[in-house]
Every structure is written in C-alpha cells, then in structure tokens.
Amino acid sequence: MAKKINASAKIPTSVVTGAAGFLGSHLTDMLLARGHKVIGMDNFVTGAVANIAHLGGNKNFRFVEQDVTEFIFLDAPVNYVWHFASPASPVDYLELPIQTLKVGSLGTHKALGLAKEKGARFLLASTSEIYGDPLVHPQPEEYWGNVNTIGPRGCYDEAKRFAEALTMAYHREHGVATRIVRIFNTYGPRMRLNDGRVVPAFITQALKNQPVTVFGKGQQTRSFCYVSDLIEGIYRLMMSDCRQPVNIGNPTELTMLEFAREIIRATGSRSKVVFKPLPQDDPKQRRPVIARAKKELGWAPRVPLAEGLKSTIAYFRTKV
C-alpha cells in the first residue's frame, strides 16, 4: 500500500511533469505562490524555457530536464505529483504520435511509480478528448466516449484513456491517492503561436490581418476556459477528497464561426473568414457538464471571454 501523505510537512513539495508547458508553467506559478516547493520536469519537446525563465533564482523552484518516460529518481520527499507532460495540440500529436503514446503510457507509469514510492498524492491531467467525437452533448463524466482508435487523433485520445485506466489501477491495487481532471479547451498567455489550436491560430491570423481559417461551415462548437480559472479548479481537485474524474472547463458554448468573428472584433483586425474542409474526426460539439466540479470543489469559471481574450491577445501581440 502507498505511504500516507505527510500532512505535517510545513512546506509541501510538488513535482510537476511538463512544467515548461502552457498549463504546467501556470500551475507551477500557482503552487509557488501558495507556498509549495516545486520540482519541475520537462524535456522541451513541446515546452519552452521562456515559460519558466522568470523562476530562475527562486529558491523554492528546482528544474530537472528529463524525459518522464524514463525512470524518475528524486532524493527528496514529495507530497504531490501533478502529471501534465504530453503533447496536447493536434499539430504536436500528429507530428509526434509515438512520443504522445509513450508519455501517456510509460510516462504515466513512471509518474505513478514516483507517487507510490514517495507516498504522494497524484493528479493526472486528462482531457476532454477522451470523449472523442461525442454522441452525448454536453459531456458528463459518466459518458464513455466515441473515439476512433486508429484515426489520426487516436494517439492522443487513447494515450489519455490508457493513462486514466492506469491511474485507477494504481489507486485500486497500490492504494495511491489519485485524482483525474478532464481538461476542456483552455486559453491564455504562453500558448504557442503555431500549436494548431484554435485560439492561437485565430489570434495569430487576425493580428497579421490574414484570412481567419474556419473548417467546415464553422458550426462545430467549443467552449473556452481561461487558464487561471482552469488551474484554480485543478488545484481544488488535488486538495479535495474527490476520487472520480472531474470535468474542468467553461460551459459557455460558441460556434467556430462566432468565435472567429469575436477574435477579429477583439483584435481590431481587417481579416476576413475563409472556409476549408473539416479535418478527419474533428469533434462537432465540445462542452463540459461541470455539476461535479461545482458540487465537489465549489468551482465554476469566473473570467468572461472578453476579459480573458484581452490579456491573451496582449501576450500574442508581443510574439507576432
């Protein structure tokens, strides 16, 4: 059985895999702000030094450059393991399908092994992609999904589904205290310009006054959660007693055509919308049911889209 978490530790120690990524770096900032020591890990396949450069010299932050699919050795007590390492955008996992599958399987195995060894609580950053192209809308945690295992998105979807299964196996067999968050579309500063996701794609095109590319007829829907809201929900989940998967995302739903027009308006761009064929297995609808997060965590998103886009666009102006 796993050792009990050392609740008496005055300064908790957190390990964050994928610490140089978009979400991992924001999580690291929050943990440091809330009094944790943080050991960040990343191999910079998709993460960036710039995302954690501001932490240089912080006595409570230590960085380890490591591929988490390999054995993790830390000669230090650990209270929490936050497993965020993974390519997480279509561009990344279409270019890196094997690495994506390996970090979801072998990487999760190694991170769980660390949590088991240290008696630490473990949180898996899963994804709304485990629901695939959903036949149920909006998506509650009880929905099992509709995933094409051999399609171009299957490497990411199945890596995360396996990671969830492995996490629950460690909980049941070894008694590891585990948490699973299913992350829906999130946006904010530190997203990469060319990562293929809709927010950086639309903003970059709009800031350059280029045509804003909408796939299909633009009627597929997404919901967008600002990064600070998401990280707050994830933190609350780790600190809670909730052992079931929890959706964290914003239930306000927009069509891609509506969102493209909102980005053009918010950037003051001269761009026009252009339409291109819909990619294979692109989900038609994506919106979380967040009743469990509200009940178990007292969490709901607070940042309005217009406010979140303002800071996100300001960040992208410095990069374009």
Q: Are 41 and 107 in contact (CB under 8 A)?
A: no
Query: Which one-letter amino acid corresponds to residue 31?
Result: L
Instruction: List the one residue out of 127, 123, 253 whose CA is nearest residue 183.
Output: 127
Instruction: List the one residue out of 33, 36, 34 whose CA is nearest residue 15.
Output: 36
Q: What residue spans of the chain are helical by DSSP H?
A: 22-33, 90-95, 97-102, 108-118, 154-174, 198-207, 227-239, 256-267, 291-297, 305-317
Which listed residue (93, 156, 187, 226) is catalytic? 156
Q: Are 243 and 171 in contact (CB under 8 A)?
A: yes
Kindly list the distances between the CA atom of residue 107 and the CA atoms of 58, 118, 119, 229, 308, in Å, as whole numbers in the listed order: 27, 17, 18, 26, 32
**Which sign, positive or negative, has the C-alpha torsion 293, 299, 305, 308?**
negative
Q: Does the annotation mark 131 as catalytic?
A: no
Kindly report the backbone phi and psi dihedral angles of residue 256, in degrees, each rounded to the nearest multiple of 5, phi listed first.
-65, -35
| Active site (catalytic) residues | 156
